[in-house]
């Protein structure tokens, strides 16, 4: 029987720490971390995400600015908005919610955010530092960083372990693979072109799935005692939010597993808040 | 019996193409690619490498400047030298030969080179773009890029293949893993902490070894027909230059193999020259 990795409880704990750090920044340095979330257009899922981020930030004492821009905005206008926040010393973290309308080059926008305010950790220079296992301070994509917090909390040591990352997205798969590699795991990165995923997962101590497809893994695909982290968010036929893996089938076979919902999901926003405060603290260190 | 991947012949072919591209740049644009190699101190191996780079560059029509600096140079002085070359519009590529003396922070020096003149491809923003499989133009570490040229020349398609990278250095292992991933392989990155390398190599279609240890692989460690790329450069007991893998033992088992010497080695400098011209051409595109 697996231990369930409780993302809700851990996110709550992390948020508690974050709010204490915010309080300390205010008292010791007269500084309030300030997160700017830029949203373009009226996509309802995006608006829901942004609202969640905004509410959580406010609850933790972070100053939160939601900058709503019209769907019709031009590339140059959007870059100008980012530039203003880059130059504003009060703003410590900036993110641009995706998706962006067609006339916008998302890559250029991501790269226009100052690396030291890049709270999503998507800027190539931050990605490069992560892949190089740089020991200085820089932001990292929040979902994988949240998974590392889970490993830490449940004392799951990655050193010398065989880890498998299913999925190679810029937001989850690649940074997650880099983090596990930096923590001492041997890491296999699998994806849609991989012919036999089971061949890898059957040898794995740690499996992270971020494919967005249902039932990527059942108990026949894993080694007994494996750790399974499910980053998937899918809607099943019954209309329920479920992960990638077959949770019920795996439950008796694995040692640790994250549920969906209540696993990785809650950690992403909590990590975003944590990293907003990280960036604020690091900015003070730079100013010294 | 394996096909021997002939790095010397391929390097010669590549150098021929590079020299034609240099000629074309001169004739069509009145431009000569200019490579600056900065060497600090008197390490004899470094001096030999730098001499080789210098000679090859001159032979291909690239303007080559070797800037020799004293062992005692300060961090600030070295950064100033780099800054001068960054600002010099004639200079299209800059590299700082390692190792550097103790008083120098190598990482800071690497990052001080303008990313668009970073002919070694070591700057984190270039590493980040590589890992993200960015489709714009940026330099990539020369040894792994040279290996990709080998795959191309011998029509070894990586799509859907199982690739294993033994070694996770910033110069070879990590960029090589990223390149193979970008080419569609499933990639496992192994290293000193990996408990059972054979478990991976026995399933691999492509194996790249960059460990700097002798006899990492024998025929019992590989699948028949695998492709073996040996990036190792070791001196054996008899005082000869040899690779990581047991070449003779593997020879009848694998489909392709690189010899040492005469395999990956010659491709590194040839790729450096190719990339010097890449950077020069890209600078023209930026100026348009």
Q: What is the pLDDT of residues B67-89, one digit of tens each?
A: 999 999 999 999 999 999 999 99
Cβ proximity of A56 and A273 under 8 Å: yes
- Look at residue A286 in the predicted model and tell me its pLDDT: 85
Catalytic-residue membership of B120: yes
Q: Are β-strands B241-242 and B234-235 bridged in parallel, bridged antiparallel, or unpaired? A: antiparallel
A286 annotated to a ligand binding site: no
Q: Residues B139, B282: contact at Cβ < 8 Å?
A: no
CB atoms within 10 A of CB A222: 24
Residues from chain A that touch B186, judged by Cβ atoms under 8 A, are 188-191, 193-194, 200
| Separation between Cα atoms, residue A188 and residue A178, nearest integer Å | 11
Last residue of a domain, one of B99, B114, B129: B114
Nearest in space to B233 (alpha carbons), one of B160, B167, B278: B167
Out of B6, B118, B120, B278, the active site residue is B120
Question: Do residues B75 and B174 both lie within one domain?
Answer: no
Please give the pLDDT value at position A34.
98
* pLDDT for A39: 97
Identify whether residues A102 and A169 lie together within a single domain: no
Is residue B41 exposed (0-12), middle (13-18) or buried (19+ Cβ within 10 Å)? Answer: middle
| Gap between the Cα atoms of B82 and B264, Å rounded | 29
Q: Is residue B151 a part of any domain in this protein?
A: yes
Is residue B167 part of an annotated ligand binding site? yes
Q: Which CATH number is B232's domain given?
A: 3.40.50.720
In this structure, the strands spanning B93-96 and B34-40 are parallel
pLDDT the model gives residue B157: 98
Mapping DSSP to helix (H, G, I), strand (E, B) and coil, where does residue A208 land? strand
| B272 domain-assigned | no
B44 is in an annotated binding site: no
Q: Shortest Cα distance from A105 to chain B (angstroms)? A: 13
Cβ–Cβ under 8 Å, residues B134 and B115: no
Residues of chain B in Cβ contact (below 8 Å) with chain A: 107, 123-129, 131-132, 134, 159-160, 162, 168, 170, 174, 177-178, 181, 184-191, 193-195, 199-200, 203
| Chain segment B25-54, per-residue pLDDT in tens | 999 999 999 999 999 999 999 999 999 999
Query: How many beta-carbon pairs below 8 A join chains A and B?
Result: 89
End-to-end CA distance of chain A: 51
Q: Which of A22-26, A233-237, A255-259 has the lowest mean pLDDT?
A: A233-237
Residue of B nearest to A136 (CA): B107
- A225-261 burial, b if ≥16 CB within 10 A, otherwise e? ebbbbbbbebeeeeeeebbbbbbeebeebbbbbbbbe
Residues B168 and B260 placed together within one structural domain of the fold: yes
DSSP state of A220: G
Which CATH number covers residue A108?
Answer: 3.40.50.10860
Range name among A209-218, A274-283, B64-73, B186-195 with the lowest pLDDT average: A209-218
Examine residue A87 and state whether it is found in any structural domain, yes or no: yes
DSSP B73-115: --HHHHHHHHHHHHH-TT--EEEEPSP--TTS-HHHHHHHS-G
Greatest alpha-carbon span in chain B: 56
The percent of residues in chain B predicted with pLDDT above 70, rounded, is 100
In a domain, A24, yes or no: no
Q: Is A36 helix (H, G, I), strand (E, B) or coil?
A: strand
Chain B partners within 8 Å of A127 (Cβ): 127-128, 131-132
Residue B29: CB atoms within 10 Å:
12
Give the single-character DSSP code of B188. E
Residue by residue, pLDDT tens for chain B (288 residues) are 899 999 999 999 999 999 999 999 999 999 999 999 999 999 999 999 999 999 999 999 999 999 999 999 999 999 999 999 999 999 999 999 999 999 999 999 999 999 999 999 999 999 999 999 999 999 999 999 999 999 999 999 999 999 999 999 999 999 999 999 999 999 999 999 999 999 999 999 999 999 988 877 999 999 999 999 999 999 998 999 999 999 999 999 999 999 999 999 999 999 999 999 999 999 999 876
Q: Are B212 and B234 in contact (CB under 8 A)?
A: yes
What band does A1 get if pLDDT is binned at 50, 70 and 90?
confident
Are residues A169 and A230 located together in one domain of the fold? yes
Task: Give the range of the structural domain holding residue A206, as residue numbers without chain letter.
Answer: 142-264
Q: Cα-flanking dihedrals φ and ψ of residue A32, to 5°?
A: -115, 120
A278 found inside a domain = no
> How far apart, in Å, are the Cα atoms of A281 and each of A26, A84, A145, A288?
11, 21, 18, 11
B173 and B77, same structural domain?
Answer: no
Which residue in chain B is spatially nearest to A197 when comparing CA positions? B186
Please report which confidence band the pLDDT of residue A215 belongs to, taking 50, 70 and 90 as the band edges.
confident
Percent with pLDDT over 90 in chain A: 96
| pLDDT, tens only, B87-100 | 999 999 999 999 99
Question: A185 in helix, strand or coil?
Answer: coil
Q: Is the dihedral of CA A14, A20, A23, A29 positive or negative?
A: negative
Q: How far apart are CA B172 and CA B127, in angstroms?
A: 12
pLDDT at A288 over 70: no
In terms of domains, do A160 and A90 share one? no
**ipTM entry:** 0.96
Question: Distance of alpha carbon A122 from its chain centroid, rounded?
Answer: 10
**B53 within domain boundaries:** yes
Instruction: Identify whether residues A146 and A259 lie together within a single domain.
Output: yes
The predicted pLDDT at position A78 comes to 98
Q: Are A99 and A121 in contact (CB under 8 A)?
A: no
Given a contact cutoff of 8 angstroms between Cβ atoms, the answer to whether A229 and A207 are in contact is yes
Interface of A with B (CB under 8 A): 107, 123-129, 131-132, 134, 159-160, 162, 168, 170, 174, 177-178, 181, 184-191, 193-195, 199-200, 203
- Please check whether residue A114 is in contact with residue A259, taking contact to mean a CB–CB distance below 8 angstroms: no
pLDDT at A176: 98
Nearest CA-CA distance, residue A197 and chain B, Å: 9
Examine the residue annotation and report whether A97 is marked as an active-site residue of this protein. yes
According to DSSP, residue B239 is labeled: S
- Is B157 catalytic? The answer is no
Do you find a cis peptide bond into A233, omega within 30 degrees of 0? no
Supply angle C-alpha A151, A156, A162, rounded to 5.
100
d(CA A186, CA B187) in angstroms, rounded, equals 11
Q: How confident is the model at residue A287 (pLDDT cuts 50, 70, 90)?
A: confident
Number of domains in chain A: 2
Please, what is the average pLDDT of chain A? 96
Q: Are A186 and A215 in contact (CB under 8 A)?
A: no
CB pair distance less than 8 Å for A188 and B187: yes
Question: How far, in whole angstroms, is CA B98 from its chain's centroid?
Answer: 14
Please report whether residue A86 resides in a domain: yes
Q: How far is B59 from chain A (nearest CA, A)?
A: 34
Q: Is residue A84 part of a domain?
A: yes
d(CA B258, CA B250): 11
């Amino acid at each position: 029987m697996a231990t369930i990795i409780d993302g809700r409880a851990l996110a709550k704990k992390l948020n508690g720490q974050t709010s204490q750090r915010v309080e300390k920044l205010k008292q010791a340095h007269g500084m309030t971390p300030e997160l700017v979330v830029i949203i373009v257009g009226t996509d309802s899922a995006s608006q829901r995400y942004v609202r969640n981020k905004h509410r959580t930030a406010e609850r933790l004492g972070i100053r939160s600015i939601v900058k709503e821009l019209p769907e019709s905005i031009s590339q140059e206008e959007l870059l100008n908005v980012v530039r203003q926040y880059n130059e504003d010393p009060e703003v410590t973290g900036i993110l641009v919610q995706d998706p962006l309308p067609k006339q916008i080059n998302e890559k250029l926008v991501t790269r226009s955010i100052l690396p030291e305010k890049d709270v999503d950790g998507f800027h190539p220079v931050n990605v490069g530092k992560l892949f190089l296992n740089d020991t200085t301070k820089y932001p990292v994509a929040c979902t994988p960083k949240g998974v590392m917090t889970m490993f830490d909390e449940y004392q799951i040591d990655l050193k010398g372990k065989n880890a498998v990352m299913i999925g190679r997205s810029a937001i989850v798969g690649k940074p997650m693979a880099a983090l596990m590699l930096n923590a001492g795991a041997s890491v296999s990165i699998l994806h849609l072109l991989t012919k036999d995923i089971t061949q890898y997962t059957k040898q794995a101590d740690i499996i992270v799935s971020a494919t967005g497809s249902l039932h990527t893994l059942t108990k026949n695909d894993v080694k007994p005692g494996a750790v399974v982290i499910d980053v998937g968010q899918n809607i099943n036929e019954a209309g329920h939010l479920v992960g990638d893996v077959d949770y019920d089938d795996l439950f008796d076979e694995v040692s640790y597993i994250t549920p969906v919902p209540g696993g990785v999901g809650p950690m992403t926003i909590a990590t975003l808040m944590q990293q907003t405060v990280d960036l604020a603290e690091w900015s003070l260190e730079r100013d010294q």
